[in-house]
């Protein structure tokens, strides 16, 4: 992921501060070539809700 982003950059000078900033932007924005669909986000939400409900069930049973 970061290797592809580095290749797409036109900057050839090595600067750690700029590299760290670009990695942060890449991390928070996600990969530019991946587009997450609504279905994937809904599935992620449902799995998180299922985990919370399962944990609540286990705590109630104990």
Q: For every one of its 62 residues, what pLDDT tens digit does the chain have, with 9 covering 90 and above?
A: 556 655 555 555 566 777 788 777 777 776 555 556 787 888 889 999 999 999 999 999 98
Residue 32 phi, psi (nearest 5) = -65, -30
Alpha-carbon gap, residue 23 to 21, rounded angstroms: 5
Cα dihedral angle (30, 34, 37, 41), rounded to 10 degrees?
-40
Cα dihedral angle (26, 4, 6, 18), rounded to 10 degrees?
10
The answer to whether 23 touches 6, Cβ cutoff 8 Å, is no
Q: How many residues does the chain have?
A: 62
Q: pLDDT at position 37, please?
A: 75
Scan for tokens 């750690």, then name that residue.
Answer: 16
């Amino acid at each position: 992921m970061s290797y592809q982003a580095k290749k797409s950059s036109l900057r050839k000078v090595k600067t750690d501060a700029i590299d760290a900033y670009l990695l942060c932007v890449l991390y928070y924005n996600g990969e530019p070539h991946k587009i997450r669909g609504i279905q994937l986000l809904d599935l992620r939400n449902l799995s998180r809700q299922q985990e919370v409900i399962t944990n609540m069930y286990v705590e109630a049973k104990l």
